[in-house]
Structure 1
Amino acid sequence: MRETKHPETALELKSVTAGYDQYAPVFVDLSLSLPGRGLTMVSGRNGAGKSTFLELCSGYLPPWHGQVRVGNRDARDPQSRAARRVCRTDVSLYPSMTVRDHLVFAAHCRGISPDPGLKRAVRYGLEPWLDHAAKELSTGNRRKLWLTMCTLGEFALVMLDEPFNGLDSAGIELLSAEMCAWATHASVVLIAHDPPATVAADTTITLDGCSGASPGSGE
């Protein structure tokens, strides 16, 4: 199997001004970069722009000014999707589709085998629910399915927004271990108000809206 070569810089924002209301930008002249591997914690008060930051990096929200690059490509470039994974806070599933069908469909969209995703789902405790519709799942099991779907395959950058919400202790332990493993060869960005103690960030970025971002060293 050919080894995927990841860029030295996984994510870069250059002089980015962005927001949703032209009279009230969330960021003005924001610049930062993240290395090709390691775990970065993104923190900040409510309204500081954490979700906006994620949407800029996802390519969904275009900046008014400046550049957002994933690896060496513009974040909005369709080819950036191959290198990036984004797991948003809100779980979005098809109510009548089974767990198995969600994972097969997500793998098909990525052009990969569904087997690794199905094995991960089993490790998350979803085996009894593989042939149940998503609407029958508990909140925690919906989160486990969502996390697995959003992080299939190989990637250079993964961004997770409050991924521990609703998880049981076993799910928290497994996700923490997965994140630590990903961070050895990819850039992992975590947005979480109360991350578990088992997740140790290499770098912390504190967002403060229009004031930009303040980088800090990890613990």
Structure 2
Amino acid sequence: MFAGYSAERPVYENVSFSFIGPALIHLKGKNGSGKSTFVELASGYLSPWAGTVLVNGASADDPGSRSRRRVCRSDASLFAQMTARDHIVFACIARDVDPGPEILRATRLGMEPWLGENAGNLSTGNVRKLWYVMNTVGQFDCVVLDEPFNGTDTEGMAYMVEEIRRWAEFKLVVIVTHSLQDLFLEAVTVRLEDLKSQPVDGLDAGSLGAK
């Protein structure tokens, strides 16, 4: 695979890799190594110049991949005048998911007092929690989380760690971050600078790869 944003400065050259779940992958790399580019390739919004990015065997930009994949980017994109609860309901409508369990997840993250608040009034931590819930509603096989713990309080982080650990028992979970700070000692760490061919053995609950 060859990919990037400028032909003069490709981010990935002749890269091939596959992650197969269930597994918990910690994808790390120094600034400029391609972490954000990986996220966009996995989401299907960025297409490689040559080669293919696959999610569960289908092209990442195939509409069929959308229902089986979740991507939570590092920067939240919310409507300032729309409540936190309505954001979650909106995400559930888009995925044809019952909002009840997802509102409960937000409550367990410590958001209950702020569900009726407009997003523009939320703290940085509550914005992060809301964005995390919105992008992981319903059932899926593969999830990519870009810096999911930034700005999150201890209570919220503890719930997220527990939930992510449960997901990794049955799904492919890729966490993109500089450091996991010993949160997941069981995670398989992959350095982007060394990314050539990195298979992760496991059942076919979810997969993400490029060639």
> What corresponds to 1:150 in structure 2?
135
SS of residue in 2 equivalent to 1:29? coil
Q: 1:70 aligns with which of 37, 45, 55?
A: 55
SS across alignment from 1:23? coil
Match in the other structure for 1:13: none
Distance 1:159 1:165 in 2: 15
1:163 and 2:148 correspond: yes
User: Would you say how many aligned residue pairs link Structure 1 and Structure 2?
Assistant: 200
- Residue 131 of structure 1 corresponds to 116
Aligned pairs for 1:47-196 (under 5 A) are 47-196=32-181
One-letter amino acid matched to 1:168 = D
- Superposed displacement of residue 202, structure 1: 3.6
Contact 1:203 1:215 in 2 (8 A): no
Which gives a bigger RCO, structure 1 or 2 (Cα 8 Å, sep 6+)?
Answer: 2
- Structure 2 gaps, min length 5: 201-211
Aligned to 1:21: 6
Q: Secondary structure at the match of 1:135?
A: helix
What SS is found at the alignment partner of 2:14?
strand
Contact 2:80 2:118 in 1 (8 A): yes
CA distance in 1, matches of 2:134, 2:196: 30
The Cα offsets for residues 21-74 of structure 1, whole Å up to 9 and x where unpaired, read as 011110011111011211001011110011111111110100001111000210
Q: With structure 1 as the length reference, what TM-score do the two structures score?
A: 0.88
| Deviation string, structure 1 residues 137-189 (Cα, Å, up to 9, x no partner) | 10001100000001001111000010100001111111111110000000000
Q: Is the 8 A contact 2:92 2:99 kept in 1?
A: yes
Q: 1:92 to 1:38 in 2, by over 3 A?
A: same
Task: State whether residues 19 and 198 of structure 2, in contact with CA within 8 Å, keep that contact through their aligned partners in structure 1.
Answer: no
Q: Over residues 53-105 of structure 1, what are the superposed CA-to-partner deviations in whole Å (9 max), with x where a residue is unaligned? A: 11111101000011110002100001101000000000111000001100110
Correspondence for 1:200 among 155, 179, 185: 185
Maintained 8 Å contact 2:18/2:198: no
One-letter identity of the residue aligned with 1:23: E
Q: Would you say the 8 A contact 1:39–1:187 is kept in 2? A: yes
Normalised by the length of structure 2, the TM-score is 0.91
Structure 2 match to 1:9: none
RMSD: 1.5
Identical counterparts, % of pairs: 47
Q: What SS does structure 2 have at the residue aligned with 1:65?
A: coil
Q: Distance in 1 between matches of 2:197 and 2:182?
A: 22
| Deviation at residue 214 of structure 1 after TM alignment | 6.8
On the 8 A contact 1:88/1:160 being kept in 2, the answer is yes
Question: Partners of 1:35 and 1:184 in 2: how far apart?
Answer: 12
The structure whose residues are more often strand, as a share, is: 1
Amino acid at match of 1:105: F
Whether the 8 Å CA contact 2:19–2:199 is kept in 1: the answer is no
**Runs of 4+ in structure 1 over 3 Å off:** 211-217
Q: What is the one-letter code of the residue matched to 1:103?
A: I
